[in-house]
Structure 1
Amino acid sequence: MTSSEAQILRTVLDRWKSAVDAHDPERVASCFTEDAIFQGLQPYTVGRDGVAEYYAAQPLGLTAAYDIRETRRLADDLVLGYLSVDFGFTDRPVVSVHLGVIVRRIGDAWFIGHYQVSRLG
């Protein structure tokens, strides 16, 4: 893992985490590309509207804590990340998942273009 790729991921994922922790579904969605493929723990969606709907349905107090495990530079404007994420709740145990993302540079900013969660065994 290079520090350059990890820093790119942190830039995007820190924005995502801040919006998740604030329960701000529109701000979460703004971290994604317009055509993002999004697979949470429910059926997948495409685009920011689906991302916003997904996070609007999450309980208040949801938090996300992530750890970058691996990165790969796929192209100048694409970075793949493999992470572990713990989603915390106020009234139930933490849900630990694996998260695969591909972030894409559009202009001077980076956005999540692909997001896929799988539960840890």
Structure 2
Amino acid sequence: MDEKETLIDVLDRWKAAVDAHEPERVAALFTEDAIFQGLHPYSVGRPGVAEYYASQPLGMTARYRILETRRLADDLVSGYLTVDFTFDDRPTVNVYLNVLVRRSKIEHYQVSRLA
């Protein structure tokens, strides 16, 4: 797969698990030692990812758009994208997301708010 296809494969599964509010399924898409930086303090590993997504409200959904991709090594792809997180009861949160994907698992995830 090329860089974009690699990201789409992982991110479509991430989106489906986020939209279904299945935090353990989201966490399973990450490496065991993934660095995860959402909009709260960072964590390392799947338990922190699961805890973060378990704390998100029911009805939250994600819509992403890939802006840039880079193949950093044979098994490592970087992706830079925007994500709109929508909610039933509050305004949409727009963020930038940078991910590193190694062998179909997210190894690094860092979010920053859009200006």
The TM-score, its normalising length taken from structure 1, stands at 0.94
Q: Provide the C-alpha distance between the structure 2 equivalents of 1:32 and 1:72, rounded to a whole number of angstroms.
A: 19
Q: CA RMSD in A?
A: 0.8
Q: Provide the C-alpha distance between the structure 2 equivalents of 1:4 and 1:77, rounded to a whole number of angstroms.
A: 11
Structure 2's unaligned 5+ residue stretches are none
Asked if residue 36 in structure 1 is aligned to residue 34 in structure 2, the reply is: yes
Runs of 4+ in 1 over 2 A off after TM superposition: none
Q: Deviations over 1:8-54 (max 9, x none)?
A: 00000000000000000000000100000000000000000000000
Q: Provide the C-alpha distance between the structure 1 equivalents of 2:33 and 2:12, rounded to a whole number of angstroms.
A: 21
Q: Percent identity at matched positions? A: 72
Structure 1's unaligned 5+ residue stretches are none
Q: Deviations over 1:60-89 (max 9, x none)?
A: 001000000000000000000000000000
Match of 2:110 among 111, 116, 120: 116
Alignment of 1:1-121 (within 5 A): 4-105=2-103, 110-121=104-115
Secondary structure at the aligned position of 2:62 is classed as strand
